[in-house]
A = this chain, B = another copy of it.
Amino acid sequence: MPLPEIPPVTEKLLAAKKAKGLSFADLEKILGRDEVWIAAVFYRQSSASVEEAKKIVAALELDDSVIEELTAYPVKGLGPVVPTDPLIYRFYEIMQVYGLPIKEVIHEKFGDGIMSAIDFTLDVEKEEDPKGDRIKVIMNGKFLPYKKW
């Protein structure tokens, strides 16, 4: 099945969050970290500091054994080469359709280099619209120029 295998700790965290009736936006207020980053910690794509892990454990009333897992440095990535989930696929399609145009514009504005995916933040915002609400995804990454040597 295309469903990526969810680590057990992710399932435990999601279940506790649901039982507590907390949203990621609630956790954002508790941790002082963005909700997307917190969701990435849940999915073991980002690693938390001990303090952050303690706050998560406290908010969700989980036992301390979870702290160790949340602070470990994970092997990252979603897995299937082409994602089949329609929501995630759209981001793949955006890269397929707009990848070269974005590259042209970035090179024109910045020169030869890339947008870092490490020194990087990502926010999801809701834009209310009478014709249908809109999703705003804001990526912000440091420009890294190619080093010459």
Query: A100's closest neighbor in chain B, by CB?
Result: B43
Query: Inside 8 A of A132's CB, which chain B residues have their CB?
Result: 142-144
**Residues 39-50 of chain A, each 1 if its beta carbon lies under 8 Å from chain B, else 0:** 110110111000
Query: A125's closest neighbor in chain B, by CB?
Result: B109
Task: Specify how many copies of this chain sit in the oligomer.
Answer: 10
Query: Inside 8 A of A108's CB, which chain B residues have their CB?
Result: 23-25
Which of A85, A90, A117, A149 has the largest count of B CB atoms less than 10 A from its CB? A117
CB distance from A20 to the nearest CB of B (A): 14
Query: Inside 8 A of A96's CB, which chain B residues have their CB?
Result: 2, 76-79, 84
Contacts A97-B45, A100-B78, A148-B33: A109 and B124 contacting too (C-beta < 8 A)?
Answer: yes
Q: Is the interface of A mostly helix, strand, loop or mixed?
A: mixed
Query: Inside 8 A of A2's CB, which chain B residues have their CB?
Result: 4, 75, 77-79, 96
Chain A interface bracket (under 10, 10 to 19, 20 to 34, 35 or more)? 35 or more
Interface residues of A in 132-149 (CB under 8 A from B): 132-149
Query: Inside 8 A of A35's CB, which chain B residues have their CB?
Result: 105
Query: Inside 8 A of A24's CB, which chain B residues have their CB?
Result: 104-105, 108
Interface residues of A in 89-116 (CB under 8 A from B): 89-116
9 shortest A-B CB distances, which residue pairs? Answer: A77-B84, A39-B101, A121-B149, A2-B77, A115-B135, A2-B79, A1-B5, A40-B101, A90-B117
